[in-house]
Amino acid sequence: MPVPGYEVTEPRLRCVLPFQAAPAEVPLLRRAAVKQLNRWGMPVAPDEAELLVTELATNVVKHVGEGASAALILEWSGERLRLEVHDKSPALPTLKKSGCAEECGRGLHLLAALAVDWGTVLTAAGKAVWCEISLRAGSACRRLERAVEALENYEGARGGIPLRGKGRESGLEVSAVELIADLLHWTAAQGYDPDDILDRAQMHYEAEVDAA
């Protein structure tokens, strides 16, 4: 069943993918999720869903513990794709102030930047962390909004002073370079190939530009 307080008023497609919290399980879960979305004919770029699944599953590995039982729920209803990860720990993750160590919730900052909405809730068995991706035609505009929000938050994490006027664009450009570098460090730390991630991101971008 969906998490408490989540009411479905439209027809929906739903899939539950149980998994065990372990680093080796994350790429398997990611591939299973993309396979299911492709089966549905989901009008959303797989890379975005893959990254969100990775963040949600990795959060369980890091903060609940390896070997813990969990489940990923994919739900397509109307103009949104909802991702939920359920585990048996009642401890809710918190989005702490940027600039602290990775274990303080850096993954949640990335989650908040990528998803149009997200949250956490206690369940009868433990908790659920969820997020939603917009499937609307205007989602490219939302991508730009999210990018600016992420870069402004990142400036604060680096201890920079928010810029205004002519210096704002150049400041965001510097933050974009630094953020991409940090993301590449993160992908390498997770065992991924940074060059592969860059290639996939470029392909994702070019496909959306061509479709616009």
- In tens, the pLDDT along 43-56 reads 655 677 888 898 89
pLDDT at position 33 is 93
Query: What amino acid is encoded at 143 in this protein?
Result: R
Q: What is the rounded CA–CA span in Å between residue 81 and residue 74?
A: 7
Q: What is the rounded CA–CA span in Å between residue 75 and residue 14?
A: 4
pLDDT at position 143 is 63
Which residues have CB under 8 Å from 77's CB, separation 6+?
Answer: 8, 10, 11, 12, 13
Tens of pLDDT, residue by residue over 185-198, are: 988 888 888 888 88
Higher pLDDT, 199 or 11: 199
Higher pLDDT, 78 or 145: 78
DSSP 104: G
Domain 12-134 has CATH 3.30.565.10: yes
Higher pLDDT, 40 or 9: 40
Residue 59: pLDDT above 60? yes
Which regions of the chain carry the CATH code 3.30.565.10? 12-134
Structure tokens at 44: 């959303």
Tens of pLDDT, residue by residue over 93-149, are: 775 544 444 444 456 766 777 778 888 999 999 999 999 987 765 555 556 666 777
Give start and end residues of each alpha helix (H) in 68-165.
Answer: 106-114, 139-157
